[in-house]
Structure 1
Amino acid sequence: MQIIQNRRTFLAGVTAAVSAELLKVRPSSAAAEPAPETTTVRLGRFTDGPYCWAALFLAGELMRADGITDVRYVSGDSTVDNTEWLTSAVTDFDFNMPSMHIRSIESGAPIKMLTGVHTGCWELRGNDRVNSIADLRGKRVGIWAFDDHPHVFLSLMINYVGLDPVREIEWVLGASPMQDFIDGKVDAFLAGTTEFPKIRAERIGHTIADNGVDRPWSQYYCCMVAGRTDYINRYPAATKRILRAILKSVDFCASDPAGAAHALVERGFLSSYDIALTTLQETGHDRWREYDAEDSVRFYALRMQETGMIKSSPQQIIAEGTDWRFLNELKRELKT
């Protein structure tokens, strides 16, 4: 495990007042709450991004202003999905798709889903032979690994239209599915937000499905926050402050995407302002009050049960792997 500490971000003596001005938020009501049981939290990051984790990165300063003074951004094993960082106790909280959290809960991992963050993240791009998800039957689909979140999500989309993602799709592994598509090695690939500027500027394929706008996927969260059950149970006051900071940061990303993109680059979390801005403009950070987090878990759990990815019922997953106490309190507290 590598702990990444950006000196400009963490050691520059950023005060609560400066943090509040940066994120354009009102002072927290945390002063009237119990003191946090711990002042330390570990949050994940890769070397550059992911860009859809913007709210997690910008929340660190607000956490410090609320008394969580030791915010550590850590990197785990980059060869595995980052949900494994959470389940192996490398991190205390994790951003990921509901499907990945659900899979961990099904396996018995001691984690709880706590809130949704935003919608959208992915576009399925295809060549002239592919005009719908159903057209993927017998086609070559590029992925960079089996069982990570793009492969799992694509499998759910494919199964939803009546295809068998195991028997009727030719999965092609490659370090860059987009480059494999350009080279004609695959017929379709799932593009993430970091690739949006390039695929549009260079007209790489055409959009088959977009989980930011196409139903039913656009009606449910793409990224959700989960935390270690042990941390949540031992440190409920700290957990609430951490989630408050994340949700305030989500509001900032929604209300001022350009300012948020600048802050992300200036603080060393992301390298490209243009990609950061595109990501913030095209992911639904304005929907966390409107969308039902439990409904997102139910939808994804049902889809996963249908594909045979899990055996548990959606209600079992919700009962064993979710905790909406903090979200319900914060929805009341952070109305506008």
Structure 2
Amino acid sequence: MRIIQDRRAFLAGLSAAGGAALFNIRPSSAAEPPPETTTVRLGKWGAYCWASVFLAGELMRADGITDVRYVTGDTSVDNSQWLARGDTDFDMNMPSMHITSIEAGVPIKVLTGVHFGCFELIANDSVQAVADMRGKRVGVWVLDSHPHKLTSLMANYVGLDPVHDIQWVETENPMQDFIDGQVDAFLAATPEPQIFRGQKDFPGHTVVNIAVDRPWSQYFCCMVAGSTDYVTKYPAATKRVLRAILKAADFCASNPELAAQELVDRGFLPNYDYALATLKETPHDRWRDYDAEDTVRFYALRMQETGMIKSSPQQILSNGTDWRFLNELKRELKR
């Protein structure tokens, strides 16, 4: 049964997750300087895996970032472009998309990982393993999108040439084209796996689930990056933004039912059941345990191997990451 929670219950839920103190509008620590700015712009679109970003707004406001703006940019491009174009100050995205921006010279800094497990490679009976995709039709929204990049990396990892061995099919709705038999496989993002698992006649099965299948399950799929300008000018504000997102991630893990309800009630997501399933299937409480730097290194190496980037993993790390805030927050937000 869905439990409708009012604002008081929501704050109580956050208290259970260890975040109630943030609702006193004051710096989280007397030793911390006040934020240099009270404004931050975050992306808003129908991404169920963005739960911690959506729920972090209240925590940011209570921690001195009083003007939290959720911005919807140009939906015809990947949301990494919103950050690149200056429409947002922070972006949550796949490591591959952040690395693509760094390679292109976009001034961003990857700051933390949040969770893993957003994607599943779904295929028909002709594809029982990734290596079976040779010669098969794989549906993607558009080439160079994060589904295309991640599927290409999976293919290259088992020895396929993703450029020549796979027939890429650009389509507005890869899942529907898969159901209609127009493609043999597609990369499903939450809540698509939850949708197909609820359909008895769905004509596919999971080939790779990055929540459980190595090596992908050993690395973050969603990481937060900020514009270099914001991070450099406003370090105290940046720390508060990240603190709020990570505390919201803890809340999503500790009370997924309440978190899912708030996501719907606040208008961020339309479907409670899909939100709840996403929170239960994408571990949000492992950000302390997983290695953000190693995640960027792993993806950069895979991308270099496929020819997606020319920079070495170390160059990507040196040019586009900053782990100072994460290291501080790991010490501060101990379990």
TM-score, with length taken from structure 2: 0.93
Q: Distance in 1 between matches of 2:193 and 2:154?
A: 20
What corresponds to 1:314 in structure 2? 313
What corresponds to 1:232 in structure 2? 231
Q: Distance in 2 between matches of 1:22 and 1:208?
A: 36
Q: Tell me if 1:139 matches 2:149.
A: no
Residue among 184, 187, 200 paired with 1:187: 184
Tell me by how many angstroms 1:146 deviates: 0.8
Tell me by how many angstroms 1:45 deviates: 0.9
What corresponds to 2:28 in structure 1? 30
SS of the counterpart of 2:310?
Answer: coil
* Equivalent residues in 2 for 1:210-221, closer than 5 Å: 210-221=209-220
Q: Tell me if 1:53 matches 2:53.
A: no
Tell me by how many angstroms 1:81 deviates: 0.4
What corresponds to 1:80 in structure 2? 77
Amino acid at match of 2:34: A
Tell me by how many angstroms 1:196 deviates: 2.0
Amino acid at match of 2:65: I
Q: 1:73-113, CA deviations, whole angstroms, 9 ceiling, x for partnerless residues?
A: 00111010000100111000000000000010011100000
Q: Distance in 2 between matches of 1:161 and 1:275?
A: 32
What corresponds to 1:328 in structure 2? 327
Task: List, as ranges, runs of 4+ consecutive aligned residues in structure 1 with deviation greater than 6 Å.
Answer: none
Task: Answer whether contact 1:19 1:65 (CA < 8 A) is retained.
Answer: no
| Structure 1: gaps spanning 5 or more residues | 1-11
Task: Answer whether contact 2:54 2:268 (CA < 8 A) is retained.
Answer: yes
What corresponds to 1:4 in structure 2? none
Tell me by how many angstroms 1:173 deviates: 1.4
TM-align CA RMSD: 1.4
Q: Distance in 2 between matches of 1:239 and 1:20?
A: 23
Amino acid at match of 2:51: A
Q: Distance in 1 between matches of 2:231 and 2:194?
A: 38
What corresponds to 1:21 in structure 2? 12
* Equivalent residues in 2 for 1:64-143, closer than 5 Å: 64-143=61-140
Q: Distance in 1 between matches of 2:229 and 2:47?
A: 26
Tell me by how many angstroms 1:18 deviates: 7.7
Tell me by how many angstroms 1:197 deviates: 2.5
What corresponds to 1:8 in structure 2? none
Q: Bigger CA drift: 198-207 or 72-81?
A: 198-207
Residue among 172, 177, 184 paired with 1:175: 172
Tell me by how many angstroms 1:31 deviates: 4.0
Amino acid at match of 1:27: A
Q: Tell me if 1:282 matches 2:281.
A: yes
Q: Distance in 2 between matches of 1:233 and 1:197?
A: 40
Amino acid at match of 1:86: L
Q: Distance in 2 between matches of 1:239 and 1:140?
A: 43
What corresponds to 2:292 in structure 1? 293
Q: Distance in 2 between matches of 1:191 and 1:103?
A: 21
SS of the counterpart of 2:284?
Answer: coil
Q: Distance in 1 between matches of 2:20 and 2:60?
A: 14
Q: Distance in 2 between matches of 1:22 and 1:256?
A: 7
Q: Distance in 2 between matches of 1:319 and 1:175?
A: 36
Q: Distance in 2 between matches of 1:322 and 1:197?
A: 33
Tell me by how many angstroms 1:23 deviates: 1.7
What corresponds to 1:271 in structure 2? 270
Q: Distance in 1 between matches of 2:283 and 2:291?
A: 14
* Equivalent residues in 2 for 1:147-162, closer than 5 Å: 147-162=144-159
Q: Distance in 1 between matches of 2:86 and 2:41?
A: 9
Identity among equivalent pairs (%): 68
Q: 1:129-170, CA deviations, whole angstroms, 9 ceiling, x for partnerless residues?
A: 110000000001111111111111111111111001110100
What corresponds to 1:9 in structure 2? none
| Structure 2: gaps spanning 5 or more residues | 1-5
Q: 1:13-65, CA deviations, whole angstroms, 9 ceiling, x for partnerless residues?
A: x8xx887434222414624110100000000012xx21100000000000000
Tell me by how many angstroms 1:260 deviates: 0.5
SS of the counterpart of 1:215?
Answer: coil
Task: Answer whether contact 1:96 1:224 (CA < 8 A) is retained.
Answer: yes
Task: Answer whether contact 2:14 2:20 (CA < 8 A) is retained.
Answer: no
Task: Answer whether contact 1:212 1:218 (CA < 8 A) is retained.
Answer: yes
Amino acid at match of 1:209: V
Amino acid at match of 2:102: I
Q: Distance in 1 between matches of 2:225 and 2:166?
A: 31
